[in-house]
């Protein structure tokens, strides 16, 4: 018999040893991905020439991922900036429309206030001129005084409205 083959033994072992003709000694141990990369980068642990392909591929992959992430981030930021600019423009247009409406209301209130003031001045002049003529009638004086009081309250209300409108216009 040859030395390559083993004799069968009567041991209860379920595994049989494989023949060895030197193949086992020539086979190198395989490691994982990280150990392969480490062996590639560390020349003291490798034998012979180093293969630069894994290192170059790893660097290229890293650079591609970094550039892709940067491009995606820039694209997202540009979209957000466009949205923010669009919203700012819309708000500015709405503010200008509201300012225009407030200005129109303010001019209307000022016109009404000037009309009331001129009416009040006219009534006071008439009262001074007719005060001596009316003289003894309390009923007429009381009616005129009530009208003056009404006009004074309207004037106070209009001044308060004008103040509110001016404050609102300043706030915008």
Query: What's the predicted TM-score (pTM) here?
Result: 0.39
- pLDDT tens, position by position, 13-41: 566 555 555 555 555 566 666 776 666 66
Distance CA 81, CA 79 (A): 5
Cβ(141)–Cβ(158) under 8 Å? no
Burial 50-82 (b: 16+ CB within 10 A, else e): eeeeeeeeeeeeeeeeeeeeeeeeeeeeeeeee
Query: Residue 30: what pLDDT?
Result: 63
Which helix (H) or strand (E) element contains residue 90?
helix 53-134
Quick one: average pLDDT of 99-110?
A: 90
Residues above pLDDT 90, as percent of the chain: 27
- pLDDT tens, position by position, 35-53: 766 666 665 544 556 688 8
């Amino acid at each position: 018999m040859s030395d390559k083959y083993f004799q069968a033994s009567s041991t209860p072992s379920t595994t049989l040893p494989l023949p060895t003709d030197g193949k086992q000694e020539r086979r190198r141990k395989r490691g994982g991905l990280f150990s392969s990369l480490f062996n590639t980068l560390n020349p003291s642990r490798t034998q012979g020439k180093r293969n630069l392909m894994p290192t170059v591929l790893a660097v290229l992959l890293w650079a591609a991922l970094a550039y892709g992430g940067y491009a995606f981030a820039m694209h997202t930021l540009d979209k957000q900036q466009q949205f923010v600019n669009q919203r700012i423009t819309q708000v500015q247009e709405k503010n200008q429309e509201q300012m225009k409406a407030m200005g129109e209301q303010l001019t209307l209130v000022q016109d009404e206030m000037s009309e009331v003031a001129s009416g009040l001045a006219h009534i006071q002049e008439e009262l001074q001129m007719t005060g001596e003529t009316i003289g003894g009638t309390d009923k007429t004086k009381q009616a005129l005084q009530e009208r003056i009081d009404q006009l004074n309250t309207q004037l106070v209300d209009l001044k308060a409205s004008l103040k509110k409108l001016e404050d609102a216009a300043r706030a915008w």
